[in-house]
């Protein structure tokens, strides 16, 4: 699979100058950030809605949209205030335009368009996955393209060849569940809260990763695609065989073994992609890139092979608006009034 992905549109009025205010509402975090053209983060505000979704065991789209609507103005105000930047001082207003939950995306997109119209600034539509890649362009030891990038989140798992900062070329992606989705579903099966990735990470430290042999998807296959649905099914059967008492008693072993299989799957395709592309520079991103085992394994691989590695801090791996502002620096801005007709998209067109 080879496919080019860029944010926004191909024809526009050029890259916006100045400091960028960005809004991210693609899933269940209401985020706003202010970032300078050089990639300095002046503010990065995240209001997590996880507690509202926990009782349902996953994100409920309508609940997410409603909370975004209630929170977005306060989150934007806080981002501007803590950056000590007024709306009039921004050069452009950016927002995630997709992929994600359509109702949730529309709240951030409409807010950004309204602010851009009121302030007389251009609007910059950003692809969420381009944002995860662009988290690597921030901070003091930012990495410039070209590099190979593994993105693993709750909604997506993919390998990207990043040749220029304005987009990426897709090398492979999951054929079913995302890595984070598999971790969240596993956590739910083991009776933990939502989202479960971070909790599995914590619990796995007390367990034996070799206790259960879970399958590693797409092993022995040349494709750079991932698959996590077989792993999920294997856990269902294991938990059923163990029964409720044993499953609870061996939760740490289950967590460690499941996490090991997820990380093995990611590492397997990452190593194949390194061979396939000959890349010497590597970066990771997305919520699962906050995982301690994955971070350690990627660091060890880079050390062993003498690769240049960039791992964003955990708070820039999970959803945030600083990464959206970072990507927006390389995306064509849409002028007023043209951007008023700009729409959100739930999925990448096939």
Torsion of CA 83, 283, 225, 203, to 10 degrees: -80
For residue 99, the minimal CB distance to ligand KG4 (Å) is 9
Using the minimum distance from each CB to ligand KG4, give the nearer residue, 157 or 166.
157
| Residue whose tokens read 């096939």 | 350
C-alpha 38/C-alpha 279 separation (Å) is: 26
| Residue whose tokens read 């990043």 | 162
Using the minimum distance from each CB to Zn ion, give the nearer residue, 7 or 153.
153
CA torsion sign for 282, 283, 288, 290 is positive
For residue 65, the minimal CB distance to ligand KG4 (Å) is 16
Of the candidates 7, 111, 153, 238, which one interacts with Zn ion according to CB under 5 A?
153
With H, G, I as helix, E, B as strand and everything else as coil, classify residue 23.
strand
Using the minimum distance from each CB to Zn ion, give the nearer residue, 153 or 272.
153
For residue 151, the minimal CB distance to ligand KG4 (Å) is 8
From the list ligand KG4, Zn ion, none, partner contacted by residue 196 (C-beta under 5 to 8 A by kind): ligand KG4
C-alpha 200/C-alpha 213 separation (Å) is: 17
For residue 233, the minimal CB distance to ligand KG4 (Å) is 18
For residue 28, the minimal CB distance to ligand KG4 (Å) is 8
Binding of residue 127 to Zn ion (CB under 5 A): no
Q: b/e map of 116-143 (b: 16 or more CB within 10 Å)?
A: beebebbbbbbbbbbbbbbbbbbbeebb
Using the minimum distance from each CB to Zn ion, give the nearer residue, 67 or 121.
67
Using the minimum distance from each CB to Zn ion, give the nearer residue, 274 or 324.
324
From the list ligand KG4, Zn ion, none, partner contacted by residue 183 (C-beta under 5 to 8 A by kind): ligand KG4
Distances (CA, A) of 207 to 193, 201, 260, 276, 327: 18, 10, 11, 34, 38
Distances (CA, A) of 177 to 98, 211, 273: 18, 24, 20
Binding of residue 319 to Zn ion (CB under 5 A): yes
Binding of residue 332 to Zn ion (CB under 5 A): no
Using the minimum distance from each CB to ligand KG4, give the nearer residue, 197 or 217.
197
Using the minimum distance from each CB to Zn ion, give the nearer residue, 25 or 265.
25
From the list ligand KG4, Zn ion, none, partner contacted by residue 290 (C-beta under 5 to 8 A by kind): ligand KG4
For residue 287, the minimal CB distance to ligand KG4 (Å) is 2
Using the minimum distance from each CB to ligand KG4, give the nearer residue, 116 or 216.
216
Give the CA radius of gyration of the chain.
Answer: 20
* Residue 90 phi, psi dihedral angles, 5° rounding: -80, 155
For residue 306, the minimal CB distance to ligand KG4 (Å) is 27
CA 114 vs. chain centroid, Å, equals 26
From the list Zn ion, ligand KG4, none, partner contacted by residue 91 (C-beta under 5 to 8 A by kind): none
Distances (CA, A) of 84 to 19, 30, 45, 79, 137: 12, 20, 13, 9, 23
Token duo for residue 22: 């960005």
Q: Check if the beta carbon of residue 232 is closer than 8 Å to that of residue 185.
A: yes
Residues that bind ligand KG4 (CB under 6 A): 27, 153-155, 180, 183-184, 195-198, 201, 286-288, 290-291, 318-319
From the list ligand KG4, Zn ion, none, partner contacted by residue 197 (C-beta under 5 to 8 A by kind): ligand KG4
**Positions that interact with Zn ion (CB under 5 A):** 153, 319
């Amino acid at each position: 699979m080879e496919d080019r992905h860029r944010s926004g549109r191909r024809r526009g009025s050029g890259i916006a100058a100045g400091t960028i205010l960005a809004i991210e509402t693609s899933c269940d975090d209401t985020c706003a950030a202010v970032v300078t053209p050089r990639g300095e983060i002046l503010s990065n505000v995240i209001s997590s809605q996880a507690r509202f979704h926990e009782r349902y065991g996953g994100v409920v789209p309508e609940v997410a949209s409603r909370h975004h609507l209630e929170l977005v103005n306060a989150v934007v105000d806080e981002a501007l205030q803590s950056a000590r930047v007024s709306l009039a001082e921004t050069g452009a207003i950016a927002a995630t335009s997709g992929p994600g939950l359509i109702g949730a995306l529309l709240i951030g997109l409409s807010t950004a368009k309204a602010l851009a119209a009121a302030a007389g600034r251009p609007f910059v539509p950003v692809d969420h996955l381009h944002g995860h890649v662009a988290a690597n362009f921030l901070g003091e030891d930012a990495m410039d393209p070209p590099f190979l990038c593994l993105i693993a989140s709750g909604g997506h798992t993919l390998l990207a060849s990043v040749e220029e900062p304005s987009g990426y070329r897709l090398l492979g992606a999951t054929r079913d569940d995302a890595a984070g989705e598999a971790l969240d579903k596993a956590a739910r099966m083991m009776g933990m809260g939502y989202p479960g990735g971070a909790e599995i990470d914590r619990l796995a430290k007390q367990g034996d990763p070799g206790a259960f042999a879970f399958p590693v998807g797409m092993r022995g296959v040349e494709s750079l695609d991932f698959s996590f649905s077989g792993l999920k099914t294997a856990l269902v059967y294991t938990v059923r065989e163990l029964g409720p008492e044993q499953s609870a008693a061996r939760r740490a072993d289950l967590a460690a073994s499941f996490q090991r299989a997820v990380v093995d799957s990611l590492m397997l395709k990452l190593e194949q992609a390194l061979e396939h592309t000959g890349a010497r520079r590597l970066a990771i991103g997305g919520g699962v890139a906050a995982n301690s085992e994955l971070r350690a394994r990627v660091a060890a691989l880079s050390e062993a092979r003498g690769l240049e590695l960039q791992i964003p801090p955990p708070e820039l791996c999970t959803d945030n608006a600083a990464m959206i502002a970072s990507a927006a620096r390389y995306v064509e801005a849409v002028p007023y009034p043209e951007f008023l007709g700009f729409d959100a998209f739930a999925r990448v067109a096939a």
